[in-house]
Amino acid sequence: MGELETQQLAAMQNEKDIYEEHVLDHYEDPFHRGPLEDATHAHEANNPLCGDVIHIDLRLDSEGKIEQAWFDGEGCVISQASASMLVEAIEGKTVEELREFSADDMLNLFGPKLTPNRQKCCLLSWRVLQGAVHSPLDGEEEDQDGLNFGGPSLKEES
């Protein structure tokens, strides 16, 4: 194999390593992991096919700005690290801004390119967040359970 080919192959392999340092850092040392005592909004969802669970607590101020965002959960590196990245990125944002934060934005925030099957792991926290802003803890607003999210579906395995 020529040197160039070897280099290209190495680059390809690197690109394939979705567990880059930045991702593992978020996994091992997450941002705001745990419950938020005086949360105003919260939501939780899971991916029954792989058992990933994400819970998000938010505190919104009277202007609809996210003062605090915390997550908790269980699951693969991708689901947990992406949740950490997401809550870190959205603090200080308004609900309006959140609405514009698309699934693609979430995948970009995560960084390493994911196969369709793993995108679902990454988008779980994004889906929970979109649900959380519509789930006030005093229970006045409708829970948007049927909220649709644009990720590919992870089918059952044999």
- Eight-class DSSP state of 151: S
Query: Closest distance between another protein and the C-beta of residue 46, in Å?
Result: 9
Q: How far apart are alpha carbons 147 and 152 in whole angstroms?
A: 15
Query: Closest distance between another protein and the C-beta of residue 103, in Å?
Result: 19
For residue 3, state whether it binds another protein (rule: CB under 8 A). no
Site string for another protein, 13-52 (x = CB under 8 A): x--xxxx----xxx-xx-x----------------xxxxx
Query: Closest distance between another protein and the C-beta of residue 94, in Å?
Result: 23
Q: How many angstroms separate the Cα of 93 from the Cα of each of 45, 61, 63, 88, 128?
A: 22, 11, 11, 11, 16
Q: Which of residues 59-118 bind another protein (CB under 8 A)?
A: 74-79, 118
Q: Work out which of 56, 66, 69, 121 binds another protein, going by CB under 8 A.
A: 121
Q: How far apart are alpha carbons 61 and 94 in whole angstroms?
A: 9
Query: Closest distance between another protein and the C-beta of residue 29, in Å?
Result: 4
- Side by side, the strands of the sheet bearing 66-74 are 41-47, 52-60, 66-74
Site residues for another protein per CB under 8 A: 9, 12-13, 16-19, 24-26, 28-29, 31, 48-52, 74-79, 118, 121, 156-158
